[in-house]
Chain A
Amino acid sequence: MGSPAVDCRNIVKTFLQRKVPMRLLQDRILRWKIHSDRIRIEALRGVSLAARNGEWVGLFGANGSGKTTLMKIIAGIMRQDAGEVSTDGRLSCFFELGVGFHLERRADENIYLHGLLQGMCRTDIRRVTDIIIDVAGVRSHENLPLKCYSTGMRLRLAFAAASQIDADIFLFDEILAVGDTDFQKKCWWYLHALKRAGKTGVIVSHNMDDLERICDRIETMDRGVLNTGRAPSALP
């Protein structure tokens, strides 16, 4: 444990939403009065969160409590209104498994594009392609497009591809333990291997058991506010 790998200080994020959504330019020009009322949603209200190097932090909370918004701000997908975010190390985030996967492409093509989008170089991608296909157990389908795979096979391939991404900080949003029991074991083995390797992780889940299994500390979020962290054993 050392300096923070992820450090968020007083993050504020507010969404100004129109009561009647305005999705058309013609509404803005012709019917702006109907759409003028707005509601203010305070998604994050001065949230501070730090994860030290090698620490695994869980975020637990109800829908709409601001977990994913916080994760997207840490990942750089969304911009905060106030506060500061800093990360120390290469960051990889998984809000969805199989980003860039396409049903018409074969496994190796999907793995290649997925790797490129994750910032891997071509040599590294070629090196891990066979490993990913074997880990996912889809060798029998490797020459078929993804649309010929079962849902479980697709998930396994996506998780296996994600597991080969080299980074220092990992963000996982509700993607834990996919597939059947055997594959879930592999997933947990992979997550624990990352932890043993000294990687840092921030995990969002609705399942407290999952978080307790891997996290050093679990923070609960409620309506945009972060409650102070407790060790998993101290949680009710």
Chain B
Amino acid sequence: MAARRFTLVQALHVVLAVGWADFVLKYRGSVLGYCWSLIGPLVKFLVILYVFGPYVQPSIPLYPLYLFLGIIVWEHFTVTTNGCMTMLFEKEGIVQRHPFPHFLLILAVGWTNIIIFSTHLAVFAVFGWFFGVSLVWSVLYLPFIMLQMTLAALGVGMLLASYCLKYRDISHLWGIAVQILFWLTPIMYPYRAQSAVTASLIAFFRQPGIHSIQNLLSLFIHFQPIAIIINDVRRVTLYPAAAGTPTALHVAGLTLICAGMFLAGKWIFDRRCPYFTQEY
């Protein structure tokens, strides 16, 4: 391939500039501006809090914060995966007519959504202050967790983007899958794994009747990466004393899993890239 080679520094500039420009552009010319990105998760939060909250609230301390944190992490995952797909349509001119490493555009999507997530996190911090939650050193884990969630989201996003031009209904199917996954992720209900993830997993497989559908669903709900990530964010921000901070082994293991998802997505995306221009 004769495409112009980008140095690492040039590639970094492209990712940061395109990601920031997309973030700014998203709200330019809109009266409510940035508020739009907050209204979605905020409305979802309020509806769930007032409809389902009374049933769940007694068993979860600081439930409004627990719920809001779960929703903003979930929003980051869904918006990033959808962004990877829409990027191919929004930047058609670049993809079709410019010899350019398309992978950088995916990273730019990740950067845009990290900026948005950071602003959501700032809103969460204000809520936390209002509820009297004090910051402890365990919040230093947050950058690692943000890295994990971005790697996982981009991995899934690249897999979807690889085929969304060939099969135009992938985005619709993913919309349905996201609805199902929302309920199969402990966002509004409690995450029950009390001990370390690996120990819980071993204990889970030792219990009788493991193959029942209910057990398999429970296995998925508690051990899928997004559920573990959401639980980790809550542990380090809301319940560091009660739930304990994640161990170094836990963080390293989960980062490896998320990196694996990212690399698998990138491998498929790179293989599919040369066909994109034929599939518009």
Residues of A within 8 A of B (CB): 15, 23-26, 28, 72, 74-79, 85-87, 90-93, 95-96, 99-100, 102, 104-105, 109, 112-113, 116-119, 121-122, 145, 167
Contact = CB atoms under 8 A, between A and B. Distances in A.
Interface string B134-178: 000000000000000000000000000001001111100100000
B98 A117 contact: yes
Contact of A99 (B6, B25, B97, B168): B97
B10 A119 contact: yes
A100 B99 contact: no
A78 B17 CA distance: 26
Contacts of B17: 112-113, 116
A99 B29 contact: no
Contacts of B2: 74-76, 85-87, 91
Nearest to A17: B278
Q: Most B CB atoms within 10 A — which of A26, A78, A90?
A: A78
B21 A72 contact: no
B94 A99 contact: yes
17 contacts: A25-B167, A74-B2, A76-B3, A77-B3, A78-B277, A78-B278, A86-B2, A91-B2, A93-B98, A96-B93, A96-B97, A104-B25, A104-B28, A105-B25, A117-B14, A121-B13, A167-B4
A117 B105 CA distance: 10
Contacts, number: 92
Contacts of A79: 1, 274
Given A76-B1, A100-B94, A25 B169 contact: yes
B219 interface: no
Contacts of A102: 21, 25
Contacts of A91: 2-4, 99
Contacts of A74: 2
Nearest to A90: B4
Contact of A118 (B4, B91, B274): B4
Contacts of A167: 4
B124 interface: no
A120 B25 CA distance: 22
Interface string B83-99: 00000000101101111
Nearest to B9: A121
A145 B2 CA distance: 34
A92 B4 contact: yes
B97 A95 contact: yes
Contacts of A77: 3, 96-99, 277
Nearest to A6: B2
